[in-house]
Structure 1
Amino acid sequence: MDRGSLATATATAAVGDLDPAVCFGAVMHERHVAAHNRFVYPSAFLRLPLSRIDALRVPLLGIERAAAFSFRRRDHGARDGSPLLPWLHRILDAHGLRHACDGEVVLQTMPRVLGYVFNPVSFWFCHDASGRLRVVLAEVSNTFGERHNYLVHHPDLRPIESGDELRASKIFHVSPFFPVRGEYRFRFERRPGLHAVTVDLWDDGVLQLSTRLGGRAEALDGRAMRRWLLRQPFMTLGVIARIHWQALRLAVRRVRFHSKPLPPLEETSR
């Protein structure tokens, strides 16, 4: 192993689940019904412990300020720039889950890149005081400017282990090529230096869509952010462009189009 690879491996091994991190990997989507379609694109995302976010000082990454990469509270939660943890705590309180989530909350998301961001989904990993994962909030956005949150956890609130399957009914419109029905099945994979989320959409016992977002964690520092900027300087613009490109491909193949219904009345479901 050369010195560069050794340095990367050492940095990866040193990044814990609750540490600030940048993850380099890929996103995969596979449509299993009517006009099979599969694509894989390179991706990257941040993992930010919310109790420490205001103290982060990382070259190229601005927290509530302009930079090549920037994190803004108004892109999440109440979307008004207010603190994020009180917003999350209100949701957990409303669903009787706060007592199980008295530890760190790690927000996994994409930052603004050169001022622009679109996050199809961000994940809020809610841990107990011992660092065990208990609840995950999936904050989903569609291209119509609407948002919805799915809360997933075990019915008995036991710790969520790597590979456990958690379910939530689909009630929010995302793609016009799928109706608003069925069930999401979530799996959260955590191995040393690796974070991955798999979300499968099932309807009437048939697998409709598989998605996976994963990446290897590195310390959140200037070296990692410079590499991100050099490799994918327009990544967030690319997200929205690729969504529309894949939609065009399905439209050309005459896949059934479902009109957008009204969004759900509730902000959060489980």
Structure 2
Amino acid sequence: MTDHPHSKAGTKTDTGWKSCLYRGRVTHSRLTPFRHKFHYRVFSLLVDLDELPVLDAGLRLFSHNRANLLSFHDRDHGPRDGSALRPWVEHHLAAAGIDIDGGRISLLCFPRLLGFAFNPLSIYYCRDRQDRLAAILYEVKNTFGQQHGYLLPVPADQQPGAPILQRHDKGFYVSPFLPMECRYRFRLNEPDESLSILIRQDEAGPEGKPLLAATHNAQRAALTDATLLSAFARHPLMTLKVVAGIHWEALRLWRKGARFHSRPTPPLEEVSIWSDPALANGRHDK
């Protein structure tokens, strides 16, 4: 891998690693048919997949595929069989006709804390050899042990600093209180000193009403043993809080009268690939 001096997220500052830590807040807002909102503070890792062996060797409180206070395990992501993640991502990029030519792949996710983790959403940022963001792979998990990915290209004329706007029809069951006939609309920035992610879930159709808005806003910190220990001290039960929070908020929605939707058969393919003429032409939904 060649270093890219003009890259943004996790540039070779501070520790010298492209990987970093983000501390921030996740907010969920139910918009229809009634208002329901909750938020919680979290910290995430943005891990350059090629740096995992170096991070394992350079940090005392973090390990790759080994137990530690905080850790990253390949089997929590991708094919979930413990194999390396980069070939899996590149396989799906090739299926979408996207060649990043050895460019770097960074994964935003929650780490394991004391051996436990649950990631409702993990995001792969895939860059080409010129360090231009070429595609984003959204990896979604539900509390039934299932997982599905959405792979979306980034327009070739995407302007630096401009928000990345993408969309995809919903194809994977997540919440029992949201219908399947929906469309996701994504608005996010390239991770830099700050992280900003907005995901809207709208009813299907051009005039579909907004049902849900989820945001994740955070600030970057260098990835060191000190920042990892500080993040753990502030959020020692983060994994439990995320899982318990999902079920608690589901109970609150049920008590408010939210309609229950049965769980359908999951998609046959592990990743849905979106080929949208609007994206190919550099146009986006607002």
Is 1:216 equivalent to 2:215 in the alignment? Answer: no
Q: Contact 2:12–2:18 (CA<8 Å) still a contact in 1?
A: no
Q: 1:186 is matched with which residue? A: 186
Determine what percentage of the aligned residue pairs are the same residue: 37
User: Shift of the alpha carbon at 1:230?
Assistant: 0.8
Q: Which amino acid aligns with 2:120?
A: P
Deviation at 1:35, TM superposition (A): 2.3
Conserved? CA contact 1:15–1:218, under 8 Å: no
Distance 1:177 1:123, change over 3 A: same
Partner in structure 1 of residue 60 of structure 2? 59
CA pair 233-160 structure 1, distance change in 2 beyond 3 A: farther
Q: 249, 265, 273: which one pairs with 1:262?
A: 265
1:228 aligned partner: 231
Amino acid at match of 1:48: V
Task: Note if contact 1:63-1:71 (Cα within 8 Å) is conserved in structure 2.
Answer: yes
Q: Give the count of matched residue pairs.
A: 257
Name the aligned partner's letter for residue 119 of structure 2: N
SS of the counterpart of 2:83? Answer: coil
Correspondence for 1:8: none
In 1, distance between residues paired with 2:116 and 2:100?
35
CA distance in 2, matches of 1:145, 1:191: 28
2:247 matched to which residue of 1?
A: 244
Q: Distance in 2 between matches of 1:213 and 1:153?
A: 21
1:6 alignment counterpart: none
Partner Cα separation in structure 2 for residue 31 and residue 242 of structure 1: 15
Letter in 1 for 2:149: N
Q: In 2, are the aligned partners of 1:59 and 1:221 still within 8 Å (CA)?
A: no
Amino acid aligned to 2:193: G
Q: Give the Cα separation in 2 of the matches to 1:220 and 1:135.
A: 25
Displacement of 1:131 = 1.5
The match for 1:20 is 19
User: Taking structure 1 as reference, are residues 191 and 80 closer, same or farther at Cα in structure 2, changes over 3 Å only?
Assistant: closer
The SS at the match of 1:122 is strand
Offset of 1:14 from its aligned partner?
4.1
The equivalent residue for 1:171 is 171
1:4 matched to which residue of 2? none
Residue 215 (structure 1) shift? 1.1
For the 8 Å contact 1:134–1:160, the answer to whether it is kept is no
Distance 1:141 1:12 in 2: 29
How far apart, in 1, do the equivalents of 2:89 and 2:51 lie? 16
Alignment of 1:19-168 (within 5 A): 19-56=18-55, 57-97=58-98, 99-100=99-100, 102-154=102-154, 156-159=155-158, 161=160, 162-168=162-168
In 1, Cα distance between the equivalents of 2:188 and 2:40?
A: 20
Distance in 2, matches of 1:201 and 1:78, equals: 26
Aligned to 1:7: none
Hey, what's the Cα distance between the residues in 1 that align with 2:35 and 2:101? 40
- Could you tell me how far 1:13 is from its partner in structure 2? 11
Give the 3-state SS of the residue equivalent to 2:189 in structure 1: strand
Distance 1:38 1:140 in 2: 21
How large is the Cα RMSD of the aligned pairs?
A: 2.0
Question: For the residues of structure 1 that align with 2:18 and 2:11, how far apart are their CA atoms?
Answer: 11
C-alpha displacement at 1:164, in angstroms? 2.5
- What's the counterpart of residue 3 of structure 1? none
For residues 108-146 of structure 1, what are the alpha-carbon distances to aligned partners after superposition, in whole Å with 9 as ceiling and x for unaligned? 001111111110010000011121211000000000111
Structure 1, gaps ≥5 residues long: 1-10
User: Following TM superposition, by how much is the alpha carbon of 1:214 offset from its aligned partner in structure 2, in angstroms?
Assistant: 2.1
Normalising to structure 2: TM-score of the pair?
Answer: 0.85
* Contact 1:13/1:193, CA 8 A, preserved across alignment: no
Query: Residue 114 of structure 1 contacts residue 234 of structure 1 at CA under 8 Å; is this kept in 2?
Result: no
Query: What letter corresponds to residue 96 of structure 1 in structure 2?
Result: G
For residues 233 and 241 of structure 2, what CA distance do their matches in structure 1 show?
15
CA distance in 2, matches of 1:262, 1:160: 39
Distance in 1 of aligned mates of 2:44 and 2:235: 12
* CA gap 1:159/1:225 in 2 versus in 1, 3 angstroms: same
